[in-house]
Structure 1
Amino acid sequence: MKKLMILILFVSSVTAFGQSAQFGLKGGLNYGSTGGLDTFAPFAENFSIDGDDKVGFHVGLYSKFKLLGIFVQPELVYTRLNTEYSQDGTSADYNFSKIDIPLLVGLDIVGPLNIKAGPSFQLVLNNDLDGLGVAIEDPENSFTIGYQLGAGVQLGRLGIDLRYEGAFQDNDAISDTNVQDFGFVVDSRPSQWILSLSYQLKGNGDKK
C-alpha cells in the first residue's frame, strides 16, 4: 500500500502541474557501494567488511516545473549497482537493482547553475551475491526512503547533474543458508555519487 501511494503521488504531482511542466530523459553513472557485510556465529569471531566503491549506471525519466520561484523535479529512474566485499583473498560481488523515485526541490542560483535536494524513494527489484556459494534473501524492506542533494548546470535542453545519495537507516539482507547458525548480513542501502546527463524534451510551456 505504501509503495502504491508513493507512485500515485509521483504521477499526481506531474499531472497537477502539467501546464508548465518540462519532461526529459536522463542517464549516467553511479559511484559508491552498499553498506557493510557483517558475519554472525556463536562459535567464531565475528567481523565486518566494508564494501569497495564501484561504478554502476542509471537511466530514466524526469519532469520539472516551477512554483513560487523554485522548481520541483520528480524522477523515475532504474539503477544498477555492484559492490565488492573482499577479506583474506576471498571476494564476493553484491549485485543490486532498484527503482528510484527522487522528489527534489531546487533553485536556480547563478546563470545556468542550480542546486537541488530532497527525499529519494527506493524500490528494490533484485539482489544477489556471487562468489561465496551462499544465497541471500531479499532486503528486510523492499521500499525505503533516503535522500539526494547536489548541483547541476542547464545548457539549453542539455543538463549535467552531480548528486550525493545517502540513507536514513540500514536495510539488511540476510544469508538464507546457515551452517550451525553461521551467516552474514549485508546493508543494501547504498551511499553513492550520481553523475547524470539529461536531455529536455519539448515541454508544455515551450514555444512551437
Structure 2
Amino acid sequence: MKSNYLLIGLLFCLPFSLQAQEFGFGVRGGFNTYSIGEIITVGSNGPNGPEAGLVFDPVEDIGFQFGGYFVAQFGKFYVRPELNYMSFQNHYDFPDQQSKWTRSKIDFPILLGYDIIGPVSVYAGPDFGFFSDAEIEGVQETSFTTGNVGPDLEKTAVNLNFGVTFKFKSIGIDLRYEMALAETEEEREDFIRSAYGVNLADLKPYNPNVLSLSVFIDIFRTDSGNIGEFFAGLFKSDKCYCPYNK
C-alpha cells in the first residue's frame, strides 16, 4: 500500500517537473497540534473510581515535524510534493495522573499552489499518510476492550491540506491545516484504575485534524532565465553547471 501511494505521487509529479519554468528543493521543520476525541467513563469504575458519564477532554500538546520538499514553478502556479515525519502528542487529565496520548506518521502531500501577491501564496492538495500505532498511557488489555491495547486506528489515510506561505528570498513560513476525510470509530478502553483513577471508558469518535506551523528553506533553486542552460549543462563533460555559481 505504501509503495502504491508513493508511485502514484511520483508519476503525478514527473510531467510537471519536466515542463517547469523553474524548480528547486529544500527542507522544512516546525510544530503541530493534533485533535483527538474526548473520553467518557462508563459502567462501574469501582468504589473509589469516578461515576459513569464523566467527560475528560483531550489537551492538545505541541508535536513536531521535519522533512523535505521539491517544487516546480509555472509562473504564479507551482507543484510541491513533500516527504515529512510528524509526531503528535496529547494528554488527558485523569483524577490521579495524566495519561499521555502519542502517535506519529510519515506523510507524502502533493500541494498545488498559487502566488497571490508578493511573497504570499496559498495552496491545497491531498496528503497520503502512513501512521504508527496510537498509544494511550494506562490502557490495559482485558475482555472489556475492543481491538488492541490503545486505539485501534487505520494505519493509512488520505487527507486534504490547505495552507498559506510567506516567503522572503530562500526562507519562508508555512501555516497549514490538514483535514481528515474520515471519522474514527468509538472504542472501549480499560484503564488501570489504581494508577489513573479511571477504569472503563469510551474514546469517542473524532476527526484527526492537524494544525501546523513550520519554517522552510530552499537549498537549491533555479530561475526561469537559466533552467534550459541547467539541463543542457548536466550533459557536458567539462563542467557541472549550477545556476547559483555564475
1:121 is displaced (CA, Å) by 2.0
Q: C-alpha distance in 2, partners of 1:36/1:47?
A: 14
- Structure 2 equivalent of residue 33 of structure 1: 34
- Structure 1 equivalent of residue 217 of structure 2: 199
Q: C-alpha distance in 1, partners of 2:54/2:159?
A: 26
Report if aligned partners of 1:36, 1:48 keep a CA contact under 8 Å in 2: no
- Structure 1 equivalent of residue 15 of structure 2: 16
- Structure 2 equivalent of residue 134 of structure 1: 140
The SS at the match of 1:114 is strand
The SS at the match of 2:220 is coil
User: Structure 2: any 5+ residue segments left out of the alignment?
Assistant: 46-51, 142-148, 193-199, 231-242
1:166 counterpart = 2:179:
yes
Greater mean alpha carbon deviation, residues 117-126 or residues 170-179: 170-179
- Structure 2 equivalent of residue 110 of structure 1: 117
Structural mapping, 1:35-184, within 5 Å:
35-39=36-40, 41=42, 45-67=52-74, 69-130=76-137, 132-134=138-140, 136-137=149-150, 139-172=152-185, 174=187, 182=200, 184=202
Deviations 1:125-183 (A, max 9, x none): 243222x253635643111122221211121111211112222222358567699xx45
Same amino acid, percent of matched pairs: 24
Q: Which amino acid aligns with 1:24?
A: G
Q: C-alpha distance in 2, partners of 1:84/1:138?
A: 14
**CA 1:49 to 1:169, structure 2 compared with 1: closer, same or farther past 3 Å?**
farther
Q: Which amino acid aligns with 2:219?
A: L
Structure whose alpha-carbon radius of gyration is higher? 2
**CA 1:186 to 1:59, structure 2 compared with 1: closer, same or farther past 3 Å?**
farther
- Which has a greater percent of helix? 2
Q: RMSD between aligned alpha carbons?
A: 3.0
Report if aligned partners of 1:38, 1:46 keep a CA contact under 8 Å in 2: no
1:87 is displaced (CA, Å) by 3.3
Report if aligned partners of 1:27, 1:198 keep a CA contact under 8 Å in 2: yes
Report if aligned partners of 1:134, 1:175 keep a CA contact under 8 Å in 2: no
1:116 is displaced (CA, Å) by 1.1
Q: Which amino acid aligns with 1:23?
A: F
1:100 is displaced (CA, Å) by 1.6
Report if aligned partners of 2:34, 2:211 keep a CA contact under 8 Å in 1: no
Q: C-alpha distance in 2, partners of 1:146/1:80?
A: 16
